[in-house]
């Protein structure tokens, strides 16, 4: 690669313990490739074009500040109260306010000015996630003709759901300013193509790219992954014991940001239903680690309260003096402890109603003891389910199905566990994070000619 790699995402890592698929994956990817990572500082400030250097090894991190209004209207508002629910099929949670979209456009325009100042002609620019859909539009407006790629970490919305937006046609237009649109799954690509098929401004090229006005954009899936070998090594560190002296015996693990898209209430209900029907003497625990996220948004406050209530009910109904069925931890844990927890668990429950990929599913598989692996219960609505067909796939809307799958997992014979684990591990290895980023960047470097982006607007 001749130039440098410049990555832009709203969230950048500040501490050692990070949660959220985007930060975890990019941290691993940039750790290998090096480059510059530009993102929002967690503390607010003034709306200028200054950036603070946060650290320079093994990649540079530059942070801009959002104002308090921008934090409320761009991040909590347009990104997380409009685009997030829209893409996760929760139109009922979308909150439309004109100041949200204005702030979203303003932040994208300002970040574009920052990037335009930093970028040199040969640099590759890689933009991440729904916070920055219009960033390429703004960069092209400033005359930036570099190759610019975009990766959407969350599900691509269904065509009909886009009508929630005040100007749905801008979604297709903004994305068409990129040279490459990367999506998690083949299903996401199909939905993206459906959007362009329905748009009279788009034309299809023989190689599957779309031509929109005079610009050509490639659309491909790049399933995101983890640092498989590194995670497996962490999971084998026997000196780390996350439970101390409070080992719970057999347990099922869940690890999620406390987000309504993760189906946590149904997970707890499914576990409770399993407890009603379990074989005599079985006393497994559900260890749920769910750090709070986006707590200023009403829908997140509601899910937090709901889950606490359900956890209380389940423990109230089933606990014994020496057995707490649900252990619910409301904070982030260091990655090496997480890896150890996965390895000690008999099963992992992923119950997302919609999920771009779900890295937890891949982490659990990578962490297992290959001679005595646990069982992955995986929602068929998580992106990971497209390739991990040998996981025990579940319907997260169906409590009985979750309960039955927990029973199947806890009683599964070793031979079947081995067969399913090997198949899942093969997928995790073949789609690891290094492949994800090198594949994306290779396609970005070769797709189309950037010339058709010059002199635009």
Q: Which residues bind ligand ADP (CB under 6 A)?
A: 17, 19-21, 24, 255-257, 289, 291, 332-333, 338, 357-360, 363
Task: Choose one: 15-23, 136-144, 281-289, 360-368; the region binding ligand G6P (CB under 6 A).
Answer: 15-23
Q: Cα Rg for the chain, rounded, in angstroms?
A: 22
Task: Choose one: 17-25, 119-127, 227-235, 298-306; the region binding ligand G6P (CB under 6 A).
Answer: 17-25
Is the torsion defined by CA of 295, 298, 301, 306 positive or negative?
negative
Closest by Cα among 153, 115, 175 to 29: 153
Helices (H), 332-398: 335-344, 359-367
| 401 flagged as catalytic | no
**8 A C-beta contact, residue 78 and residue 100:** yes
Q: Is the peptide bond before 67 cis (omega within 30 degrees of 0)?
A: no
Q: Which residues pair with 53 in a beta bridge?
A: 62
**Residue 49 CB neighbours (<10 A):** 11
CB of 421 to ligand ADP, least distance (A): 19
CB of 191 to ligand G6P, least distance (A): 17
Q: What track of x and - describes contact with ligand G6P for positions 146 through 185 (by CB under 6 A)? A: -------xx-------------------------------
Helices (H), 319-452: 335-344, 359-367, 399-411, 414-430, 433-446
329 alpha-carbon distance from chain centroid: 21
Residue of the chain from 11, 41, 89, 211 that contacts ligand G6P (CB under 6 A): 11
Closest by Cα among 288, 243, 319, 274 to 410: 274
Task: Choose one: 18-26, 41-49, 183-191, 307-315; the region binding ligand G6P (CB under 6 A).
Answer: 18-26
DSSP for 128-165, please give it.
ESGGGTTHHHHHHHTT--S-EEEE--SPPPPGGGGGGS
Is the torsion defined by CA of 172, 174, 176, 181 positive or negative?
negative
> Taking CB under 6 A as the rule, does residue 129 contact ligand G6P?
yes
CB of 66 to ligand ADP, least distance (A): 20
CB of 332 to ligand ADP, least distance (A): 4
CB of 77 to ligand G6P, least distance (A): 12
Closest by Cα among 308, 218, 224 to 268: 308
DSSP state of 450: G
| 355 flagged as catalytic | yes
Q: Residue 225 binds which one of ligand ADP, ligand G6P, none, with CB within 5 to 8 A depending on kind? A: none
Q: Residue 359 binds which one of ligand ADP, ligand G6P, none, with CB within 5 to 8 A depending on kind? A: ligand ADP
Q: Residue 123 binds which one of ligand G6P, ligand ADP, none, with CB within 5 to 8 A depending on kind? A: none
**8 A C-beta contact, residue 391 and residue 385:** yes
> Taking CB under 6 A as the rule, does residue 61 contact ligand G6P?
no
User: Which entry of 28, 161, 174, 355 is annotated as an active-site residue?
Assistant: 355
Q: How far apart are CA 39 and CA 20, in angstroms?
A: 15
Task: Choose one: 16-24, 96-104, 106-114, 329-337; the region binding ligand G6P (CB under 6 A).
Answer: 16-24
Residue of the chain from 141, 278, 294, 313 that contacts ligand G6P (CB under 6 A): 294
> Taking CB under 6 A as the rule, does residue 77 contact ligand G6P?
no
**8 A C-beta contact, residue 435 and residue 225:** yes
357 vs 412 by CB, closer to ligand G6P: 357
CB of 335 to ligand ADP, least distance (A): 6
**8 A C-beta contact, residue 104 and residue 137:** no
251 vs 300 by CB, closer to ligand G6P: 300
User: Which entry of 131, 153, 177, 421 is annotated as an active-site residue?
Assistant: 153
> Taking CB under 6 A as the rule, does residue 21 contact ligand G6P?
yes
User: By beta-carbon distance, which residue lies closest to ligand G6P?
Assistant: 20
Residues near ligand G6P (CB under 6 A) are 11, 20-23, 129, 153-154, 293-294
Give the residue numbers annotated as catalytic, written as ranges: 153, 355
């Amino acid at each position: 690669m001749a130039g440098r790699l410049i990555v832009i995402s709203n969230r950048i890592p500040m501490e050692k313990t990070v949660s959220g698929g985007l930060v975890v994956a990019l941290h691993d990817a940039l750790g290998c490739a090096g480059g510059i990572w530009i993102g929002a500082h967690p503390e607010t400030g003034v709306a200028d074009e200054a950036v603070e250097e946060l650290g320079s090894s093994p990649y540079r991190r530059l942070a801009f500040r959002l104002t308090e209004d921008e934090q409320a209207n761009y991040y909590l508002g347009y990104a997380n109260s409009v685009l997030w629910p829209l893409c996760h099929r929760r139109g009922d949670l979308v909150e439309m306010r004109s100041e949200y979209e204005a702030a979203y456009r303003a932040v994208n325009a300002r970040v574009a000015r920052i990037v335009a100042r930093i970028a040199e002609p040969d640099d590759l620019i890689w933009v991440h996630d729904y916070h920055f859909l219009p960033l390429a539009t703004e960069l092209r407006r400033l005359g930036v003709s570099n190759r610019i790629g975009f990766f959407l970490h969350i599900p691509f919305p269904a065509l009909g759901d886009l009508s929630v937006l005040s100007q749905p046609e801008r979604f297709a237009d903004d994305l068409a300013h990129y040279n490459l649109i990367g999506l998690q799954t083949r299903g996401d690509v199909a939905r993206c193509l459906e959007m362009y098929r329905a748009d009279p401004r788009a034309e299809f090229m023989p190689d599957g790219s779309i031509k929109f006005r005079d610009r050509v954009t490639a659309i491909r899936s790049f399933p995101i992954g983890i640092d498989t070998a590194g995670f497996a090594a962490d999971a084998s560190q026997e000196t780390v014991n996350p439970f101390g002296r409070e080992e719970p015996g057999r347990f099922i693990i869940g690890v999620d940001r406390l987000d309504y898209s993760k189906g946590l209430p149904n997970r707890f209900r499914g576990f409770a239903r399993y407890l009603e029907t379990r074989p005599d003497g079985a006393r497994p625990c559900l260890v749920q680690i769910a750090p709070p996220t986006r707590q200023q948004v009403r829908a997140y406050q509601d899910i937090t309260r709901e889950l606490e209530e359900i956890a209380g009910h389940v423990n109230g109904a089933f606990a014994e003096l020496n057995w707490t069925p649900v252990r619910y931890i409301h904070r982030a844990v260091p990655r090496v402890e997480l890896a150890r927890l996965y390895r000690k668990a008999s099963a992992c429950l992923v119950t997302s109603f919609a999920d771009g990929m779900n890295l937890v599913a891949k982490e659990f598989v990578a962490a297992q003891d290959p001679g005595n692996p646990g069982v992955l219960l995986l929602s068929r609505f998580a992106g990971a389910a497209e390739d991990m067909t040998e996981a025990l796939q579940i319907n997260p809307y169906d409590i009985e199905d979750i309960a039955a799958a927990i029973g199947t997992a806890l009683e599964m014979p070793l031979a079947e566990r081995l067969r399913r684990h090997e198949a899942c591990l093969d997928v995790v290895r073949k789609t690891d994070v290094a492949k994800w980023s090198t594949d994306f960047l290779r396609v970005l470097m070769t797709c189309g000619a950037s010339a058709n982006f010059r002199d635009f607007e």
